Copies of this chain bind each other. A is one copy, B any other.
Amino acid sequence: MSVTTTSQPGSYHHGNLRVALIDAGVELAREGGPDAVVLREASRRAGVSHNAAYRHFADRDSLLAAVCGRCMSALARLMEKRIAQAAPASDDGLKGARRRLRATGTAYVEFALTEPGWFRTAFAVPAELHYLAGDEGLGESGLGPLELLGAQLDAVVKAGGLPPKRRPGAEFTAWSAVHGLAMLLIDGPLRELPQPERDAALEHLLDTITRGL
């Protein structure tokens, strides 16, 4: 997350302005969500005049889209991490698969609660630019959050924990559930819910989905 500069300080050309602007934008998003990703402030933080950004981004939405991709990647990486921690990769039994599936959901909500600015930004992709270029929004495995969830569901099916007939569409339902809970908790009417009840709501939700799938 550090700003990397390849040119000398004080030189006319920045040398790495594009990524420096995205870095600054990511920091702004962390502090204040998508609305805080602002061209002038990002330029300021990159140590550059307010118009230099236009050499690298068509407009503010273009920068925001890049920042959104970074945030989505951060979500994917936390999910990968928690999935790996949930059970050793060698454990390909049903128990391990279920643990990993559950970890996928908890990681999603954990990310939303610990980095609400990033979480909100991850889903604030400007309407016209929702094709994130190339590897935008992916984790280290090359999978995005939805693919990671799908992979865990596939594993549960493979381990016999879910009839294959039930598999199609399951990721949308599971995703919707955790996404909705996250939104309601960070921005929505549940934002005042005390911590124990938040945990209970998440457990209840995961139990219900697991049973219902």
Contacts and interface: CB of A to CB of B under 8 A. Distances in A.
A89 interface: no
Given A177-B180, A211-B211, A205 B123 contact: no
A170 interface: yes
A209 to B, nearest CB: 6
Most buried by B among A130, A204, A208: A208
A145 to B, nearest CB: 9
A59 B192 CA distance: 23
Most buried by B among A169, A187, A213: A169
Size class of the A contact interface (CB-based, 8 Å): 35 or more
Most buried by B among A123, A181, A189, A213: A189
A173 B191 contact: no
Contacts of A129: none
Interface in A154-213: 169-170, 172-173, 175-184, 187-192, 200-201, 204-205, 207-213
A84 interface: no
A3 interface: no
22 contacts: A35-B35, A124-B187, A127-B191, A130-B192, A146-B189, A172-B204, A173-B177, A173-B204, A176-B180, A176-B181, A176-B205, A177-B205, A180-B180, A180-B181, A180-B183, A183-B183, A207-B212, A208-B213, A209-B209, A209-B212, A210-B212, A212-B213
Given A169-B204, A173-B201, A176-B205, 9 more contacts: A124-B187, A169-B200, A173-B177, A177-B177, A180-B183, A209-B209, A209-B212, A212-B212, A212-B213
